[in-house]
Amino acid sequence: MDPTRRPRTSKSAVILVLTKRECHDSKSAVTLVLTKRECHDSKSAVTLVLTKRECHDSKSAVTLVLTKRECHDCKSAVTLVLTKRECHDCKSAVNLVLTKRECHDSKSAVILVLTKRECHDCKSAVTLVLTKGECHDSKSAGTLVLIKRECHDSKSAVTLVLTKRECHDCKSAVTLVLTKKECHDSKSAVILVLTKRECHDSKSAVTLVLTKRECHDSKSVDSKMY
């Protein structure tokens, strides 16, 4: 895509902001924010925010928030929130909340809430799958999938996948993927990937990839941004 190419209409605009902050001290924190704003007319807006905060102390916590708000007119709104909190002590707990609210008119609404709490014992393992398929007409479809797998042994791993596919017509597609993998051993690593692909016609395409790798030994951190 030519970055100098002007929008097709005077009322369309796209703003992408990616920010990463990290401090290597006892109160270290990492914040990742990806924001996309798009206005097709005076009443439509899309905002995507991904935030990760982590504190490396006895009360460490990790929070992931993915929010999508969209208003096509004064009566329609969509909100997606994914939150993960984890405390590394004997009372550790993990909470996952996925909420979707959608109102196309004054009489239609959809609410999905998924909450998971888990205590770290030697044998716990859980798999959660939430799938939502919706077709507004013969050419539109939406799918939401949230998968979490966690095993508390020497090969433990955590995977979070949130996928949304939507086609408004035969030439437009949007895909959002959030993946988190974590291994609890001396070579532990955390990988966060957020990808958005969108094609409105044969000549326009946007791809965003955010990858964060972190190893919890010798304080090494490897971050890649494309």
Give per-residue pLDDT as tens, 201-210. Answer: 333 333 334 3
- Residues paired with 175 in a beta bridge: 165, 197
Rounded Cα distance, 60 and 63, in Å: 10
Q: In the 8-state DSSP scheme, what is residue 204?
A: -
Of residues 84 and 130, which shows the higher confidence score?
84
Question: Mean pLDDT throughout 76-104?
Answer: 40
Selection from 118, 120, 73 nearest residue 95 by Cα: 118
pLDDT confidence band for 46 (50 / 70 / 90): very low
Q: Checking phi first, is residue 42 left (phi over 0); if not, alpha (psi -120 to 50) or beta? A: alpha
For 82, the 3-state DSSP assignment is: strand
Rounded Cα distance, 46 and 49, in Å: 10
Given a contact cutoff of 8 angstroms between Cβ atoms, the answer to whether 155 and 125 are in contact is no
Which pair of structure tokens corresponds to residue 167?
């086609």
Which pair of structure tokens corresponds to residue 108?
């239609």
32 burial class (0-12, 13-18, 19+ CB within 10 angstroms)? buried
pTM of the predicted model over 0.85: no
For 34, the 3-state DSSP assignment is: strand
Question: Mean pLDDT throughout 114-141?
Answer: 37
Rounded Cα distance, 71 and 45, in Å: 6
Amino acid, res. 185: D
Question: Mean pLDDT throughout 149-173?
Answer: 39
Rounded Cα distance, 65 and 96, in Å: 10
End-to-end Cα spacing for the chain: 15
What does pLDDT average to over the chain? Answer: 39
Question: Mean pLDDT throughout 65-79?
Answer: 40
Rounded Cα distance, 154 and 164, in Å: 32
Given a contact cutoff of 8 angstroms between Cβ atoms, the answer to whether 148 and 96 are in contact is yes
